[in-house]
Amino acid sequence: MQKIIPLSFFFIFAILNINKSFSKGDLTRQTVIEVEVNLKGETGKVHFFQPPVLKFKTGKLYKLKLINLSDSKHYFTSEKFSNSIFTRKIQINKNNKKIAEIKGIIKEVEVFPDNIVEWWFVPIKTGEFNDLFCKIVDKKTKKTHKQMGMSGKIIIE
């Protein structure tokens, strides 16, 4: 005697498998990978990124925390990096509360002393980018922060 599978069982099985296939490619459901870069320095002396080399992988969701620990404002600028990622948002927090989100194409981020900006993005193109720098002019030396050592490299694998 042949068993007949109830039609409702077939629909439940199909729905469960369809849901699995959609969630595999849903980049919004990823666990975020947090990376911190400190913007450091002292007016008249030195300015630098710590670490000076950042590595990311395509297709992963990152939250890059730009933490300004210096006495000067700083730019985080890399045209090639900006052109190789999808920015989900820039988030600004104050006193552990979200106060703003910026969405769209971001080319550079300016962070003032004792502040943190979060850049949420997904890398979409591989490459090595040696154009990370800060273009602020030091008040004492009149040199750019880049000339004083604030440059770096970004690698997307």
pLDDT of 19 over the 50 cut: no
Can you tell me the mean pLDDT for 51-77? 97
Cα angle 148, 93, 70 (rounded to 5 degrees) comes to 20
Question: What is the C-alpha to C-alpha distance for residues 110 and 117, in angstroms, rounded to an integer?
Answer: 9
Question: What is the C-alpha to C-alpha distance for residues 123 and 90, in angstroms, rounded to an integer?
Answer: 15
pLDDT of 73 over the 80 cut: yes
Q: Which residue has the higher pLDDT, 25 or 84?
A: 84
Q: Domain 32-156 has what CATH class?
A: mainly beta
Rounded to a whole number of angstroms, the CA Rg of the chain reads 22
Distance separating the N- and C-terminal Cα atoms of the chain: 58
Q: Which residue has the higher pLDDT, 28 or 20?
A: 28
The pLDDT value given to residue 137:
97
Cα angle 40, 42, 45 (rounded to 5 degrees) comes to 120
Mean pLDDT of the chain: 88
